Structure 1
Amino acid sequence: MRIGVVTFPGSLDDRDAQRAVRFADAEPVALWHGDHDLQGVDAVVLPGGFSYGDYLRCGAIAARSAIMTEVIAAAEQGMPILGICNGFQMLTESHLLPGGLIRNEAGSFVCRDQLLRVESTSTTWTSGFSAGEEIIIPLKNGEGGYIADAVTIERLEGEGRVVFRYLGYNPNGSMNDIAGISNERGNVVGLMPHPEHAIEPGFGPDTADAMRSGVDGLRLFRSALESALAH
């Protein structure tokens, strides 16, 4: 399986995402924001960072880049798309996912190992988890507060499209403690925490077992691979 990782001006986790893809035994493919070519990949990751310096709104300019025309079309055809942090912001700005992300409630940048609950395993990116499972994924953002109108929130909850939820502490004031959501089809997922930083023992978040032992993030990438192999 070939998974493309898009680099935008200001991306800083693109190489980490490529490495996570490699750890999941898939082939990472570097994609460039200014191209109209997905190079025949089977899935796409929109990585974290500060694309275009977060000008206007986080992800707003990146959502209108050349590559996103192809990403949107591919997503509508069912291609798995994962948006991480700034990538999640791009997905909302491009209307592949509803709602938006605003400045953290505390008004400051947050960086922490975050406890999450897996709410949905019916997406391409979470099929390798168990519903209700608690995982630890690093979080680092300044504009991670998820918001949407009441009708949208009700629809997301009712349709099982809240994929991850913050546990123990809501780090950014997201409505309903929402950490990640999916589209109706389940092939597009956006989340604020960074699974690419929890893939290798010794370099992941602290867990109850040992310091830096968390590897829960790797299963997002393996889920996509296993979903592709199943089809």
Structure 2
Amino acid sequence: MKSAVLVFPGINRERDMARALKLVSGNDAAMVWHADTALPKGTDLVVVPGGFSYGDYLRCGAIAARAPVMDAVRKFAADGGLVLGVCNGFQILCESGLLPGVLMRNAKLKFICRDVHLRVERADSPFTRGYQAGQVIKVPVAHGEGNYEADDETLKRLEGEGRVLYRYCSASGEVSEAHNINGAAASIAGIVSERGNVLGMMPHPENHVEEIMGSVDGRGLFAGLAEHLAKAA
């Protein structure tokens, strides 16, 4: 698996992401600067990591979405390449038009930094094949603007097309307002594009791939991607 991790001013999770990718795939990820106009040759996976690109000025992800490298990412996605956006990366993907909707301020207007539970809605995606449908995983979040919103038509389409891959839930898998940490529509934590090759999610699976962190539940996402790409090679 040959991964490319994008780096914008203000991003602070690129090293965490690169470490997770190396631990699972055995390969070093290429770090790609925001001003670059091309991705490394042979890239299998593009990752847009978390942080606070450009200080979250204007809107979170709005400036990064207009960086030169994003033209290459849009072309990569249009050609069927796999793209993963985590936290600020999810916001950037929405702002760049690669995913629908927008990430708003958390419902209680507070920054949330803790472990949460997610329910895996389906296991037939490259981004979920390392799990089972209905499985509950524990991963951390760290965001102030993770409240996913979209118009009713878009939400209906996401649900109807099975494009919601992860939802906030209880430890037993119950999806309810009581366990919706940020007020996101339909407890949405992660969605994929129409073709299924672009995933945006607010939680940080890269921070739960080693036992020392208290959970390895995030490892399944990366292991599934590596397996998918190995079979596609």
Offset at residue 218 of structure 1 (A): 1.3
Paired residue for 1:194, among 204, 212, 219?
Answer: 204
Task: Specify the SS of the correspondent of 1:24.
Answer: helix
Matches within 5 A, 1:41-120: 41-120=43-122
Counterpart position of 1:12: 12
Cα distance per residue 1:21-47 (max 9 Å; x no partner): 001124211111110121121111100
Counterpart position of 1:130: 132
Which amino acid in structure 2 is aligned with residue 106 of structure 1?
A: K
Task: Specify the SS of the correspondent of 2:212.
Answer: coil
| Aligned alpha-carbon RMSD (Å) | 0.8
Provide the TM-score with structure 2 as the length reference. 0.93
Partner Cα separation in structure 2 for residue 167 and residue 89 of structure 1: 21
Is 1:24 the counterpart of 2:20? The answer is: no
Offset at residue 122 of structure 1 (A): 2.7
Which amino acid in structure 2 is aligned with residue 227 of structure 1?
A: H
Provide the TM-score with structure 1 as the length reference. 0.94
Counterpart position of 1:209: none
Percent of aligned pairs with the same residue? 50
Aligned pairs, number: 222
Cα distance per residue 1:145-165 (max 9 Å; x no partner): 000000100110111000100
Partner Cα separation in structure 2 for residue 121 and residue 188 of structure 1: 15
Cα distance per residue 1:56-101 (max 9 Å; x no partner): 1100100110110000110011111000000000110011110000
After the TM superposition, list the runs of 4 or more consecutive aligned residues in structure 1 that deviate by more than 6 angstroms: none
Partner Cα separation in structure 1 for residue 131 and residue 26 of structure 2: 18
Partner Cα separation in structure 1 for residue 145 and residue 94 of structure 2: 13
Counterpart position of 1:34: 35
Paired residue for 1:151, among 133, 148, 153?
Answer: 153
Unaligned regions of 5+ residues in structure 2, if any?
171-178
Partner Cα separation in structure 1 for residue 196 and residue 136 of structure 2: 20
Asked if structure 2 preserves the Cα contact closer than 8 Å seen for 1:3 and 1:26, the reply is no
Partner Cα separation in structure 2 for residue 136 and residue 113 of structure 1: 6
Unaligned regions of 5+ residues in structure 1, if any?
204-211
